[in-house]
Chain A
Amino acid sequence: MLTYLPNIVFLIVLVGAFYLFFKNVSKIRRNIFLGKDIDRTDRKNERWKTMFRVALGQSKMTVRPIPGILHIIVYAGFLLINIEVAEIIIDGIFGTHRIFAEPLGGLYTAAIHFFEILAVLVLVSCVIFLIRRNVLKIGRFQSAEMKGWAFKDANNILFIEIALMLALLMMNAVEANFTDHESQQFVISSLLAPLFSGLDQGSLHFLERFFWWIHILGILAFLNYLPFSKHFHIILAFPNTWYSNLNAKGRFDNMKSVTDEVKMMLDPSADPYAAPPEADPNAAPQRFGAKDVTDLSWVNLMNAYSCTECGRCTSECPANITGKKLSPRKIMMDTRHRLEEVGANMDKNKGEFKDDGKALLDDYITREELWACTSCNACVQACPVNIDPLNIIVQMRQYLVMEESAAPQELNMMMTNVENNGAPWQFGQMDRANWINE
């Protein structure tokens, strides 16, 4: 019985880790679908292509070559090395050792050589990333919204990845010293092997197990860290790009409810007292625009959970560059934080949201930020996972203007002019063609 103890412990840890992970992911899923419905299932071919190009191919990362290439190394390295996790899991459950080694033969040896080289590249890249954040203090990682948890989160991820890569290499290095069964020599770990050469076989076997456990426990812990981290983007980048906006960036959605009303107003034959068609008496009164996260679409909310907090949007934002409070990254982070708060509130109240007197507007995102946007789309263009911060900004402006009539005074004047004179300035409609004869 005792001989199976490690297998049983492993199985329990494994099942527990996946259970916890799926539980937290399903909470995120629930939170995302608190958003309003929006149809993004047209043009499927184009969607698959976008996903392969932007998420898998990381086409927007290399706009900035240095971090772009480093990121591709870490990403590809991490994905490929994780193939080995399949073996680790099987070994762990059945108490085998390197189960794929025999059947795969030379291919296996080649793969491990390759993984070891990748591991070193990942390690070096992560160290460079740490230096960029903590020593060079690259501008886009220093904004106000990057203090506190966001700062720690970014470093945590890099430390965990470094630890995982080290565990993998050390495990192989220890094993290279085994004499009691045929030990394999791999390209990097054989260089590290002398570190452990003085130890007896018993200690070596203990150490090998030790690094093996560190590696797999680390991976499972990391898995469960994802739902609380910006690192969740490694999963959501895929659906997020698939469901991203394929229309011209300048095209803003037309509000359907407004169209119906405007048509009625312009139609001389319409009965002004007719009840609006298909009005559901039980439906909550529709709000124009967005005041809180639940007024946004589910794609907006998925965007928030997909944000990598890289700040590429903010560093291209004309408002932010010139010192305004607006930061499109903060718009996304605020949306996620508020949504997490709403989710936690529901968890506490048996799945019902209890009014907490707060909202995304004012408690997270200020009006000053919203009015600083030029709608230039630089943030949308820059985002490596096709997030659209502008769409949220516009919906919140719609709430301010259409529900609260709270636009800045000059904009109210502009809008009155458009309504009365057909131009944003105070010129008469009848003077519109004067230029011809001037």
Chain B
Amino acid sequence: MAEQIQVPTMAEMMAKGEIPEVLFWVGCAGSFDDRAKKITKAFVRILNNAQVKFAVLGTEESCTGDPAKRAGNEFTFQMQAMMNIQVLDGYEVKKIVTACPHCFNTLKNEYPELGGNYEVVHHTQYINSLLAEGRLSISGGSFKGKKITFHDPCYLGRANNVFEAPRSLIEKLDAELVEMKRCKTRGLCCGAGGAQMFKEPEKGNKDINIERTEEALETQPNVIATGCPFCNTMMTDGVKNKEREGDVQVLDVAELIANAEEL
């Protein structure tokens, strides 16, 4: 890690009379989950490196309400949404980037009707735009020639038709992108969505993340890449279950970029 990361909050920016280009919505996993925090920091290093003037809400951020909504609790969801919208509008936020597809989907698709209108992008889309604007550059780095397979998060892919943004980043690493049998629109869920992350699965003959991990391992990858902290957890557990953590890494696309550039 080269230098200390810089993470200004909205409140601090406001106090200095500054307006950030973009708000980084960290999300619950990105804020609290030990594994996901690493993804958060990797993305911050990318933002710092590209000298993006961004801010986070810090302690003023709250759950988007996604897991409550998917579980069927519309009250809790809308309470969360309205409170978040009040905070976001208070800071006159226009553009949001997030590394969590669930936050991405909820903010982008479900908040507008409740009064929250923002331009919302996933971090893989945002990194692509930084590259396009020449604010960031990637060379192959440590992943050159490695085999990487990408697991499509349901709420990024099928739910919002973002399939190319993460793939084009992987290709920029000079790595070999290998697709699983079920990919893109037909990608298999990791098993975490719809609030499943927070409960034991129903009775069956296999866990969904094991099924998906087996499929990923069939491609003989060095890295299983994802773009979602929950998929990351599920696939990491799957790889451990298969006792392959020695030779297969599970990494977020942001970590791939940050590690390749040794940011």
Q: How large is the interface on A (under 10, 10 to 19, 20 to 34, 35 or more residues)?
A: 35 or more
Given contacts A265-B79, A318-B211, contact A423 B28 (CB under 8 A): yes
Q: Considering the chains assembled together, what is the distance between the CA atoms of A137 and B224 in angstroms? A: 35
Q: Considering the chains assembled together, what is the distance between the CA atoms of A380 and B55 in angstroms? A: 37
Known: A414-B71, A433-B59, A435-B32. 15 other contacts (CB 8 A): A250-B105, A251-B105, A251-B109, A252-B69, A266-B79, A321-B211, A324-B204, A376-B189, A378-B186, A415-B76, A423-B32, A424-B67, A430-B59, A435-B30, A438-B37
Q: Considering the chains assembled together, what is the distance between the CA atoms of A438 and B79 in angstroms? A: 30
Give the number of residue pairs across the A-B interface with Cβ within 8 Å. 217
Asked whether A424 lies within 8 Å of B204 as measured between CB atoms, the reply is no
Interface residues of B (CB under 8 A from A): 5, 7, 9, 26, 28, 30-32, 37, 40-41, 56, 58-59, 61-63, 65, 67-76, 78-80, 82-83, 86, 105, 108-110, 113-114, 154-155, 158-161, 182, 185-186, 188-189, 191-208, 210-212
Q: Considering the chains assembled together, what is the distance between the CA atoms of A252 and B160 in angstroms? A: 12
Q: Considering the chains assembled together, what is the distance between the CA atoms of A12 and B9 in angstroms? A: 81
Which of A255, A319, A321, A432 is within 8 Å of B32, CB to CB? A432
A413 — which chain B residues lie within 8 A by C-beta?
198
Q: Main secondary structure on chain A at its contact with chain B?
A: helix
Asked whether B59 lies within 8 Å of A423 as measured between CB atoms, the reply is no
Given contacts A394-B70, A411-B198, A436-B7, contact A322 B207 (CB under 8 A): yes
* Distance of A404 from chain B, by nearest CB (Å): 10
Asked whether A424 lies within 8 Å of B63 as measured between CB atoms, the reply is yes
Residue among B26, B105, B159 with max Cβ neighbours from chain A (10 Å): B159
Given contacts A319-B204, A374-B208, A424-B28, contact A259 B189 (CB under 8 A): no
Asked whether B32 lies within 8 Å of A322 as measured between CB atoms, the reply is no
Which of A261, A266, A378 is within 8 Å of B158, CB to CB? A378
Contact residues of A between 367 and 402, Cβ < 8 Å to B: 368, 371-378, 380-382, 394, 396-402
Asked whether B74 lies within 8 Å of A254 as measured between CB atoms, the reply is yes
Given contacts A374-B192, A375-B193, A400-B72, contact A319 B202 (CB under 8 A): yes
Beta-carbon contacts of A406-438 to B below 8 Å, as 1s and 0s?
Answer: 011011011100110011110101111101101
Which of A411, A425, A427 is within 8 Å of B199, CB to CB? A411
Q: Is A326 an interface residue (CB 8 A)?
A: yes
Q: Which residue of A lies closest to B189 (CB)?
A: A376
Q: Considering the chains assembled together, what is the distance between the CA atoms of A381 and B188 in angstroms? A: 12
The 6 closest A-B pairs by CB, nearest first: A250-B159, A397-B72, A375-B194, A323-B205, A422-B62, A323-B204
Interface residues of A (CB under 8 A from B): 63, 247-252, 254-255, 258-259, 261-263, 265-266, 288-289, 316, 318-319, 321-326, 368, 371-378, 380-382, 394, 396-402, 407-408, 410-411, 413-415, 418-419, 422-425, 427, 429-433, 435-436, 438
Which of A321, A402, A410, A433 is within 8 Å of B73, CB to CB? A402
Q: Considering the chains assembled together, what is the distance between the CA atoms of A438 and B193 in angstroms? A: 28
Q: Considering the chains assembled together, what is the distance between the CA atoms of A415 and B75 in angstroms? A: 10
Q: Considering the chains assembled together, what is the distance between the CA atoms of A273 and B154 in angstroms? A: 43
Given contacts A402-B75, A419-B79, A435-B40, contact A321 B188 (CB under 8 A): yes
Q: Which residue of A lies closest to B80 (CB)?
A: A418
Given contacts A262-B79, A402-B75, contact A381 B186 (CB under 8 A): yes
Asked whether A250 lies within 8 Å of B31 as measured between CB atoms, the reply is no
Given contacts A248-B109, A324-B201, contact A402 B74 (CB under 8 A): yes
Q: Considering the chains assembled together, what is the distance between the CA atoms of A303 and B182 in angstroms? A: 26
* Distance of B66 from chain A, by nearest CB (Å): 9
Q: Considering the chains assembled together, what is the distance between the CA atoms of A316 and B70 in angstroms? A: 20
Asked whether B202 lies within 8 Å of A407 as measured between CB atoms, the reply is no
A429 — which chain B residues lie within 8 A by C-beta?
59, 62
In the complex, 6 of the A-B residue pairs with CB atoms within 8 angstroms, ordered by the A residue number, are: A258-B78, A266-B82, A374-B196, A415-B73, A418-B65, A425-B32
Residue among A318, A326, A396 with max Cβ neighbours from chain B (10 Å): A318
Asked whether B31 lies within 8 Å of A318 as measured between CB atoms, the reply is no
Asked whether A378 lies within 8 Å of B63 as measured between CB atoms, the reply is no
